[in-house]
Copies of this chain bind each other. A is one copy, B any other.
C-alpha cells in the first residue's frame, strides 16, 4: 500500500509527465527527447534516501527500477542503461532509468547537466507514453 499522504515534488512534476502507477512507484517520463528517461518515485511520504525505505520496499524498488531499465532499453535498443538515485537538487527519493546509445550527445558521460533538454512534441510524447503503458502491465 502506498501512502495516502504521498505528494510529488513540484520540480519533478514540471519537468516530466505521468506514465503509470506501479505497485510502489509513481512512474514519469522526463521531458527530454534526447534519450528515453523514466523517473520512479516511491509513493512514500518523506523518503529521501534508500535507507529511509523498508527492506521490503527496497526489494520492490529494485525490481521496478530493473523493469524501467528494460523499458528504456527496448524503446531504442539501448547500448546501456543508467539507473541512479542522486537527489542533490530534489530531495524526494526518485530513481532515474535512462536508455543510452553510444551515439547520444552525452556518451560516455552521464546525462545530468549536459546541454539543454529537448522537449517532446505533444503528439510524440502521447504516443511514447502509450507505448510504454502497453509494454508494462502491472
**Which of A15-23, A109-117, A121-129 lies at the interface?**
A109-117
- State in angstroms the CA–CA spacing of A51 and B82 once bound together: 12
Q: Does A59 contact B (CB under 8 A)?
A: yes
Question: Given A80-B88, A84-B82, A113-B109, does the pair A63, B58 have CB atoms closer than 8 Å?
Answer: yes
A89 neighbours in B (Cβ, 8 Å)? 108
Contact A69 B83 (CB under 8 A): no
Report how many copies the assembly holds.
Answer: 2
**Number of residues from A at the complex interface, CB < 8 A:** 33
A82 neighbours in B (Cβ, 8 Å)? 84-88
Checking B58, B66, B113 against A66 with a beta-carbon cut-off of 8 angstroms, the contacting residue is B58
Contact B51 A58 (CB under 8 A): no
Contact B84 A85 (CB under 8 A): yes
Q: Does A49 contact B (CB under 8 A)?
A: yes
Contact B63 A51 (CB under 8 A): no
Q: Chain A interface (Cβ within 8 Å of chain B)?
A: 48-51, 55, 58-59, 61-63, 65-66, 69-70, 73, 80-89, 91, 100, 107-110, 112-113
